[in-house]
């Protein structure tokens, strides 16, 4: 077991009233949450997103990334569906932390792309870990996901944990002049799929 369940409560938002579930990593004490709406334990595939914390994008309205836009669109899509789940994982800056993300941003200001910036700081391009998702989903009684993501690594990581991803739902929002290079790097160097490039978006295989 990677995380243990702590407590649940109601969370009213502009998108609807969600149930918020708190979890704690057993080895580190790191905290993660899940937001659920409707009956997600009925055995049917659940519209879901695993969203890694981005303080600058999620809370400070940064336009350097698409994180805040994706968070809002995911919650909006779940509300429209009337049923779904968002796992909010506390792994800032693709796992390098907030202060190192600021250092990486400084390198990007000098011309590095997001991958180069991480590598110059001694990190891999993406250090995120999704192992806690299995325990969180198991606690909520969820076995199958319709996953909102553009990231093939995320699909593969969840499947390697034994989580059944039955559909990938594109989540391409928030492109602007400040994050065009960031998004292009996601596609060209990290293999992200985008709806404007259908040829790069192979169907998921069972």
Please enumerate, by residue number, every residue annotated as part of a binding site: 49-54, 65, 67, 70, 92-94, 114, 149, 154
CA 11 – CA 163 distance, rounded (Å): 26
- In order, the DSSP letters of 70-90 are HHHHHHHHHHHHT-EEEEEE-
Compute φ and ψ for 198, nearest 5 degrees: -60, -30
**Residues of the binding site for Zn(2+):** 54, 65, 67
Closest CA to 67 of 78, 51, 86, 80: 51
Structure-token match 């009213």, residue found: 12
**Are 83 and 40 within 8 A, CB to CB?**
yes
Residue 128 annotated to the active site = yes
Rounded CA separation 25/58 (Å): 22
Which of the residues 126, 184, 200, 201 is marked catalytic?
126
Annotation says 156 is catalytic? no
In angstroms, the CA 126 to CA 53 distance is: 13
Q: List, as residue ranges, the binding site for GTP.
A: 49-53, 70, 92-94, 114, 149, 154
58, 66, 113, 128: the catalytic one is 128
Give the residue numbers marked as catalytic: 126, 128
């Amino acid at each position: 077991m990677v995380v243990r369940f702590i407590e649940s409560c109601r969370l009213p938002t502009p998108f609807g009233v969600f149930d918020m579930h708190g979890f704690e990593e057993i080895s580190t004490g790191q905290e993660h949450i899940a937001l659920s709406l409707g009956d997600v334990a009925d055995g049917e595939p659940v519209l879901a997103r695993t969203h890694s914390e981005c303080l600058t994008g999620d809370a400070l309205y940064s336009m350097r990334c698409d994180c805040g836009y994706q968070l809002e669109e995911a919650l909006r899509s779940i509300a429209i569906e009337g049923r779904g789940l968002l796992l909010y994982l506390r792994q800032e800056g693709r796992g390098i932390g907030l202060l190192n993300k600021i250092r990486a941003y400084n390198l990007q200001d000098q011309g590095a792309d997001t991958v180069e910036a991480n590598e110059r700081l001694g990190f891999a391009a993406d250090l995120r870990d999704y192992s806690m998702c299995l325990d969180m989903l198991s606690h909520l009684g969820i076995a199958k996901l319709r996953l909102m993501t553009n990231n093939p690594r995320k699909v593969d990581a969840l499947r390697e944990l034994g989580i059944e991803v039955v559909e990938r739902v594109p989540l391409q929002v928030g492109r602007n002049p400040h994050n065009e290079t960031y998004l292009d790097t996601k596609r060209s160097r990290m293999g992200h799929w985008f709806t404007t490039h259908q040829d790069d978006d192979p169907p998921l295989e069972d």
